[in-house]
Amino acid sequence: MSSTDHIQSKLSDGILTLRINRPDKKNALSLAMYQTLADGLREADCDDSVRVILISGGADCFTSGNDLGDFLSVPPTGPDSPVMQFLIAISETRKPIVAAVNGLAVGVGVTMLLHCDLVYAGNSATFQMPFVNLGLCPEAGSTLLLPRIMGHQRAAELLLLGEAFGADKAQNLGIVTAVCPDDAVLATAEKRAGQMALQPAAAVRLTKALLKRDYAIPLRETIVEEGAQFMARLKSPEATEALQAFMQRRKPDFSRFT
Ligand code: COA
């Protein structure tokens, strides 16, 4: 498994841990980081020594989502872009995925959790999907998965207003398995991953596949459609204003766009 400074990977007792580690940028995901994650997931799925994948971040930040500077300088342009490879890989990985979330989970930091099988979050974790706030649209199949998990109105509130919410709400909405004390999140996730690694692997893979059977095809179609719309939105005046406002540390002004 390739390990870089920003994505650290470690295989131990059948658990492949992929740790997002770019603390100076709140673990924002660059192109190279998406590529390393996509490659790691795909390799893990074919490697018999990996029985469970665990995705974690830092003690105060899971990830602040896509690197917003990259959206301006090296935006994704097609289905082969590293972000699309990552989204397809995480949504189609046959092996179980456990997530340990401390601190901020923003954008894809939330939507990637919809593809994980067990999600443990610290009690002060904060979640936010500000795609619309950035003039963009949701991704990672979230427009299919969120209403399926929580119903249209609750999904619409999260996506259309893009407000931050806490771990208890995330658990009530069904996107977090359990909330733990902040300092117990990683240990809890590792313990559950360890339990799963001892389960019969073929039965685990089959059960995961059956759980997703009725939406596997529409999920891929949704990820591809959202991806195309998202890439088009990146060129929109609304997104340009929002991204420039972030870089210039000011509030965006959408009043002149209709
Ligand atoms: N992309 C690129 N850089 C990011 C980033 C992102 N998604 N999130 C944070 N950073 C950078 C900041 O630019 C800053 O860099 P600098 O020190 O070189 O100026 C550094 O990380 C620290 O971020 P800062 O904003 O100072 O921390 P904060 O605690 O005040 O706020 C966030 C943290 C995550 C709430 C805020 O940075 C933010 O809103 N980021 C954007 C999140 C986002 O919209 N993600 C994409 C969703 S699609």
On the question of pLDDT at 18 being above 80, the answer is yes
The model's pTM is 0.97
Residue for token pair 């919410």:
165
Question: Measuring from atom 40 of ligand 1, which residue has the nearest CA?
Answer: 64
Average per-residue pLDDT in the chain? 97
Confidence of residue 213 (pLDDT cuts 50, 70, 90): very high
Residue 210 neighbours by CB under 8 Å, 6+ apart:
none
CB 43 within 8 A of CB 1: yes
With a 6 Å cutoff on the Cβ, whether 95 touches ligand 1 is: no
Report helix, strand and coil shares of the chain as percent, to nearest 5. 50, 15, 30
* 28 DSSP 8-state letter: P
Phi, psi (rounded to 5 degrees) for 147: -60, -30
Q: Mean per-residue pLDDT for 206-218?
A: 97
Distance 64 CA to ligand 1 centre (A): 6
Strand 104-106 relative to strand 97-101: parallel, antiparallel, unpaired?
A: unpaired
In contact, 132 and 239? CB cutoff 8 Å: no
Distance CA 124, CA 136 (A): 27
Position 4 confidence tier, pLDDT thresholds 50, 70, 90: confident
Which structure tokens are listed for 196? 């799963």
Residue 104, pLDDT above cutoff 90: yes
Q: Is the CB of 104 under 6 A from ligand 1?
A: yes
Domain locations in the chain?
Answer: 7-182+200-204
Q: Summarize the confidence of residues 123-143 as an average pLDDT.
A: 98
**pLDDT tens, residue by residue, 54-102:** 999 999 999 999 999 999 999 999 999 999 999 999 999 999 999 999 9
Strand partners, 166: 126
For residue 1, pLDDT over 80 is answered with no
Could you tell me the two tokens for 184?
Answer: 């117990």
Domain 7-182+200-204 is found in CATH 3.90.226.10? yes
